[in-house]
Amino acid sequence: MREVLLSLVVVLAGSVSLSTPSAAATADPANLGTLGPVLEAKLKEWLTTWRAVQPALSVEQFKKGETGHMGPTWDSLHIDLSERNPKLPLYVFSSDMRWVVDPFGALRMSKQNGAILAGFDVDNSVFLIDRKMSRQRSMLFSGPSGGTHEAIWLWNDGFVVAGYGEGQPKEGCGGGPTHKPILYLVSIPRNSLTPYVGPESCRGVGSEYVIQKVKKKIPNVKFY
C-alpha cells in the first residue's frame, strides 16, 4: 500500500510540473542559451543578417542587463485591427490572439491612390495592444541611434523584441560608433523587461532591415 501511495505522489508531482511550464519560462534567464534553440528558429532571418557583419555571433554571447518595468501605464484605446489598417500585416499576435505587438512604433503608414505610403519618425517605440481590455501601452523608446527589427512570442504572455543600438566611438571603426544587436525579454504578468546586449562591431544592421521586411510583407508600399 505504501509503495502504491508513493507512486501516486510521484505521478501527481510530475503532472503539476508539466501543467505549469510557464513558471520557468517567465523567469529572466541569466543566459539566453536556455532559449537558444527557440530564438535560433524564430529569429533566424534576424540572426543571419547580423552574422553578415558578425560571423561568430551566437545567442550565448548576449549579456543580461538590469530588469526594469515594461514602460508607462496602459492607455484606453480602440485599435483598428481590420484590413483597413495598413500596418496590420506587421503586427505580431500571441497564440491566444489576445495580445498584439507593433514592433515599429516609428513607422507611419497611410493609403493613397491604391498604394501604401510609409515613413519613419525620428523616435521609435514598441506598442503592446491588449485586445481583451481595449488598451495599449508603449515601451522601448529610442532615438535615431537605435531601433527595433522583430518581435516574436515565446508563450501566451511573454515575448522577445529584437533590435539594435550604438556604442561608443571606437578607433578601429574610423572614429565612428560601434553597433550592437539587442534582445529584450518581456513578461506581461511580471510587468518586466530585460535587455540582453550582444557584442559590438564596426558595422551593424539598422533601419534598412525594417524597410526590406515591410516591402516583403506589403509589396505595394512606397517609402518617402
Given this model, what pLDDT does residue 172 score? 82
Close Cβ partners of 56 (under 8 Å, ≥ 6 residues apart): none
The pLDDT confidence band at residue 128, using thresholds 50, 70 and 90, is very high
Given this model, what pLDDT does residue 16 score? 32
Q: What is the edge-to-edge ordering of all strands in the sheet holding 115-120?
A: 107-112, 115-120, 221-223
**How distant, in Å, are the alpha carbons of 4, 20, 53, 105, 160 from that of 163?**
53, 30, 15, 13, 10
- Distance from C-alpha of 210 to C-alpha of 201, rounded to nearest angstrom: 20
Given this model, what pLDDT does residue 55 score? 97
Mean pLDDT across 184-189: 96
**pLDDT, tens digit, for every residue of 58-95?**
999 999 999 999 988 999 988 889 989 999 999 999 99
Q: In a 3-state reduction of DSSP, which class is residue 55?
A: coil
pTM comes to: 0.86
Report strand pairing: 221-223 vs 115-120: parallel
Given this model, what pLDDT does residue 1 score? 39
Q: What is the mean pLDDT of the chain?
A: 87
Q: Give alpha helix (H) positions in the chain.
A: 2-19, 22-25, 36-42, 44-51, 207-217
Provide the β-strand partners of residue 129. Answer: 100, 136
Close Cβ partners of 11 (under 8 Å, ≥ 6 residues apart): none
**What are the grid coordinates assigned to 80, written together?**
483598428
Given this model, what pLDDT does residue 224 score? 87
**What are the grid coordinates assigned to 210, written together?**
525594417
DSSP 8-state symbol, 135: E
**pLDDT, tens digit, for every residue of 10-41?**
333 333 333 333 433 446 898 898 899 999 99
Given this model, what pLDDT does residue 3 score? 40
Mean pLDDT across 82-111: 95
Backbone angles phi, psi at 149, to 5 degrees: -115, -35
Helix/strand number for the chain, H first, E second: 5, 14
The pLDDT confidence band at residue 210, using thresholds 50, 70 and 90, is very high
Given this model, what pLDDT does residue 27 score? 67
- ∠112-117-120 over CA atoms, to 5°? 150
Of 14-23, 116-125, 130-139, minimum mean pLDDT range: 14-23
Given this model, what pLDDT does residue 39 score? 97
Q: Is the pLDDT of residue 155 over 80?
A: yes
Residues 129, 136: contact at Cβ < 8 Å? yes
**What are the grid coordinates assigned to 114, written together?**
491604391
Given this model, what pLDDT does residue 13 score? 33
Q: Which amino acid is at 148?
A: T
